[in-house]
Amino acid sequence: MKHLIVGSGTVGKSTGTMLKVHGEDVTYYDVNADIILELKKKGENVATNIKTEMPMYTWICTPELELEQVMKTLLKRSVVIIRCTTQPKTIDKLEKQFSKSKFTIIHLPEFLKEVTAIEDTLNPDRIIIGSNDCSTESIELKYMLKKFFPNIPIIYTDTKTSEMSKLTANGWLGTQISFWNEIKEVCDEIGIDSQIVSNAVTLDKRISKYGSNMLGKPYGGKCIPKDVKQLIETICKWIGKSILLKSVDDVNKKMMKK
């Protein structure tokens, strides 16, 4: 089956690798000439004109701010799979905006770390497929991914739920990091080794170790900071204000200044 990857950065390359490992036909596209040149040198299939490509699946792996513009360039696509992190109901709006294009839009959020992107994509904890209809194309995608990952939980839901799931995941990870950083500040003032505290506390099976071994370091990278902010915006939009996550963001800003 033919796949077109639009946006061939970290997410795009790892997505393409996952598809190729399972014998799929992959072509990459990116507006960055350096990325395309690098892919050509590696012997990858690349597209120079997105409008001439007619794949079965088009995977959009661009930054979310470029999503709408990319969608405008897609003509007569069978299935568009969005990997971008978007606020709930963004896909709903896109479906209405591009309803005349008559292509199926699916949200398939990625859950990867930049430094281990390919490994994370090839060995996911779970797969979330967001679709607002039970079209043949979306069902076929589900079966294809189930064939790729027979032992991995696949959650099939609507797009606003898949969008919220991605934001919530990174919001929680950011919360854990800020929590441990605040504990470290208190321990430092009292004269306590915060690492011993975190090591002791995380022996409790109910408490994740994530963030407990990077005490004093703010959360960074491309995903968690922007996703925490997006989640705060979502909360403020729907219920007025964010109390907990606003504090999580404030703690992180404080740590970044140290």
Give the catalytic positions in this structure. Answer: 223
Q: Report strand pairing: 25-29 vs 2-6.
A: parallel
The total number of residues written for the chain in this structure: 258
CB atoms within 10 A of CB 35: 18
Phi, psi of 234 (to 5 degrees): -65, -45
Which secondary-structure segment (H or E) carries 68?
Answer: helix 67-73
Number of H helices, E strands in the chain: 10, 7
**In this structure, what token pair is assigned to residue 112?**
């990867």
Contacts of 26 (CB under 8 A, 6+ apart): 3, 5, 16, 19, 20, 44, 45
What one-letter code names the amino acid at 219? Y
Distance (Å, whole) CA 69 – CA 92: 16
Distance (Å, whole) CA 2 – CA 19: 10
What separation, in Å, do the N-terminal and C-terminal C-alpha atoms of the chain show? 51
Which secondary-structure segment (H or E) carries 59?
Answer: strand 57-60
Could you tell me the CA-to-CA distances from 176 to 151, 196, 249 in Å, in that order? 28, 17, 11
